[in-house]
C-alpha cells in the first residue's frame, strides 16, 4: 500500500467527522480519523500504537514511530474539531472545497490538515532516498478542543522520550515558544427563592451575584496591574465574564444564579495561585451569606506553556521560517507534551484567525511554503542532509 496524494489525504481527513464537545449530543468518536492515519503511517513503515482514552471511552490517541530508541522528532496534533453551525457555512464542512484559491473544510487548519503536510513531507524524503538517522514519531490526540484528555494521557506514557516536538496548530508557520494557560470556571450562587412581594423571606441570588461580579472586576484589575510579560500582545492575565443565567420568573425571588468566566494565566502564574485568588474574591460573600457561593472548574485547567528561546528546536524553526519565535494568547497541548522532557514549540500551517470560524480555510498560496518548511525541519532532525 502507498499513501495517497497530499490533497487526497486532506480530503479524507476532512470527510471523517470528529467533533468533540461537552454536549453529548454533539460529541463524536475520532476513531475513523485515527484509523486513516494508522493505515498511512503503516504504509510509510511506522509501527502504530492506538490507545483508548481512560477519561473518555470511545476516543483514541495514535502514536506512530519509525526508528529505534529515544530522541528524534515528534510531530503532534489533535484529530478533533469544534462543533459547527451549518447555517453559517457556505460550504459542506466535511467536503474539502477548493474555491478562490482557498481550501475550505472543518479542520482544514485546526488541525487535521497538519497530518497531511507531515505525511507528505515524509513521503518526499523517502523518495529522495535519504537515510533516516533519528527516530521519527507522529502523535495524534483526542479531545483537545474540550478536556485535552488525549494530551494529558500521553504525558504519562512510560516509554516516550522524543528530543523534540512540534505541535502543528495554525501559526502561519511562525514558531511559538510560549503561551498563556486557560481556566473556565462556574461561579454558582445559591439563594432562597420566594414570592417577590415579600423580599425579606428570601435571599436573592442575582443580588448576591451583583457583589460577586464587582469583586471579580476588582480581581481583573488586580491581575492586570500585578502580572505582566511584555512578549505577549496582551501582556497581562485576562478575566472574561462570558455567560450568566439566573432566575425563572419576574415575580419570584431568584434562588440560583450562575456565571461562567474564562481566565488566561501567564507563565509563572500557577493554576493553584489563580484558583486561590478566585476563592479570595468570593470568600467575603460566603462570610456574609454562608455557603452561598461555589467556584467550580468547568474543565481541567490548562497551565501556561513556556520554553527556552535559545534551545536548538526554536533556533532551527526560526532559521527555517525566517521568523522570530513569538508568544500567543491562546493555549495548546504544549504544557502536557512538554512533560515528556522534549524541546517543544507550536508551529503549523494556516492562520489562527480562521480557527473555530465558519468557512474555515487554508490559503492555497501558503501550501507549498509550509510543505517546504516542514520537510526541512524533519530532514534536519531525523535524516541525512540532502545536497
Segment 15-47, tens digit of pLDDT: 999 999 989 999 999 999 999 999 999 999 999
Q: What is the pLDDT of residue 265?
A: 97
Q: What average pLDDT does the structure give for the chain?
A: 96
Q: What is the pLDDT of residue 129?
A: 83
Could you report the per-residue pLDDT of 167-179, keeping only the tens digit for each?
999 999 999 999 9
Instruction: Kindly state the average pLDDT of the residues 180-201.
Output: 95
Residues 252 and 256: their CA atoms lie apart, in Å, by 11
All cell numbers assigned to 125 = 524524503
State the pTM of this model: 0.93
- Is the pLDDT at 385 greater than 80? The verdict is no
Residues 134 and 197: their CA atoms lie apart, in Å, by 76
Q: What is the pLDDT of residue 2?
A: 81
Could you report the per-residue pLDDT of 84-106, keeping only the tens digit for each?
999 999 999 999 999 999 999 99
Provide the 3-class DSSP secondary structure of residue 184. strand
Q: Residues 109, 351: contact at Cβ < 8 Å?
A: yes
Query: Confidence band (pLDDT; 50, 70, 90) for 1?
Result: low
Could you report the per-residue pLDDT of 229-249, keeping only the tens digit for each?
999 999 999 999 999 999 999
Residues 120, 144, 343, 360: which is the catalytic one?
144
- Is the pLDDT at 387 greater than 70? The verdict is no
Q: 86 an active-site residue?
A: no
- Is the pLDDT at 124 greater than 70? The verdict is yes
Write the DSSP assignment of 205-247 as a string of letters: HHHHHHHHHHHHHHHHHHHHHH---TTSSS-S-EEEEEEEEE-
Instruction: Kindly state the average pLDDT of the residues 191-217.
Output: 96
Sorted by where each starts, the structural domains of the chain and their CATH numbers stand as: 6-179+304-382 (3.40.630.10), 183-297 (3.30.70.360)
Q: 343 an active-site residue?
A: no
Amino acid at each position: 500500500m502507498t499513501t495517497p496524494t497530499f490533497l487526497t489525504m486532506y480530503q479524507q481527513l476532512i470527510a471523517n467527522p470528529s467533533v468533540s464537545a461537552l454536549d453529548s449530543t454533539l460529541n463524536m468518536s475520532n476513531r475513523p480519523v485515527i484509523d486513516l492515519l494508522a493505515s498511512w503511517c503503516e504504509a510509510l513503515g511506522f509501527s502504530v500504537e492506538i490507545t483508548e482514552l481512560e477519561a473518555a471511552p470511545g476516543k483514541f490517541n495514535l502514536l506512530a514511530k519509525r526508528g529505534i530508541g529515544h530522541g528524534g522528532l515528534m510531530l503532534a496534533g489533535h484529530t478533533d474539531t469544534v462543533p459547527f453551525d451549518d447555517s453559517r457555512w457556505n460550504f459542506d464542512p466535511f467536503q474539502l472545497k477548493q474555491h478562490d484559491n482557498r481550501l475550505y473544510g472543518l479542520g482544514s487548519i485546526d488541525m487535521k490538515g497538519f497530518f497531511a503536510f507531515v505525511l507528505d513531507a515524509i513521503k518526499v524524503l523517502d523518495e529522495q532516498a535519504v537515510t533516516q538517522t533519528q527516530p521519527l514519531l507522529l502523535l495524534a490526540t483526542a479531545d483537545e478542543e474540550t478536556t485535552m484528555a488525549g494530551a494529558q494521557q500521553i504525558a504519562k506514557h512510560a516509554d516516550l522520550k522524543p528530543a523534540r516536538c512540534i505541535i502543528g496548530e495554525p501559526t502561519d508557520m511562525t514558531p511559538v515558544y510560549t503561551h498563556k494557560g486557560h481556566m473556565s470556571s462556574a461561579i454558582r450562587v445559591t439563594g432562597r427563592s420566594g414570592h417577590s412581594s415579600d423580599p425579606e423571606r428570601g435571599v436573592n441570588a442575582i443580588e448576591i451575584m451583583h457583589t460577586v461580579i464587582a469583586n471579580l472586576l476588582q480581581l481583573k484589575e488586580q491581575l492586570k496591574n500585578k502580572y505582566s510579560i511584555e512578549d505577549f500582545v496582551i501582556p497581562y492575565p485576562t478575566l472574561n465574564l462570558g455567560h450568566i443565567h439566573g432566575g425563572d420568573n419576574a415575580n419570584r425571588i431568584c434562588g440560583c444564579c450562575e456565571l461562567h468566566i474564562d481566565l488566561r494565566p501567564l507563565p509563572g502564574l500557577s493554576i493553584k495561585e489563580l484558583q486561590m485568588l478566585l476563592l479570595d474574591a468570593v470568600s467575603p460573600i460566603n462570610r456574609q451569606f454562608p455557603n452561598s457561593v461555589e467556584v467550580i472548574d468547568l474543565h481541567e485547567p490548562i497551565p501556561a506553556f513556556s520554553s527556552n528561546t535559545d534551545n536548538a528546536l526554536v533556533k532551527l524553526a526560526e532559521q527555517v521560517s525566517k521568523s522570530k519565535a513569538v508568544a500567543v494568547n491562546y493555549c495548546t497541548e504544549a504544557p502536557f507534551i512538554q512533560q515528556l522532557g522534549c524541546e517543544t514549540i507550536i508551529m503549523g500551517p494556516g492562520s489562527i484567525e480562521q480557527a473555530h470560524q465558519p468557512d474555515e480555510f487554508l490559503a492555497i498560496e501558503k501550501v507549498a511554503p509550509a510543505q517546504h518548511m516542514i520537510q526541512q525541519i524533519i530532514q534536519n532532525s531525523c535524516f541525512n542532509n540532502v545536497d
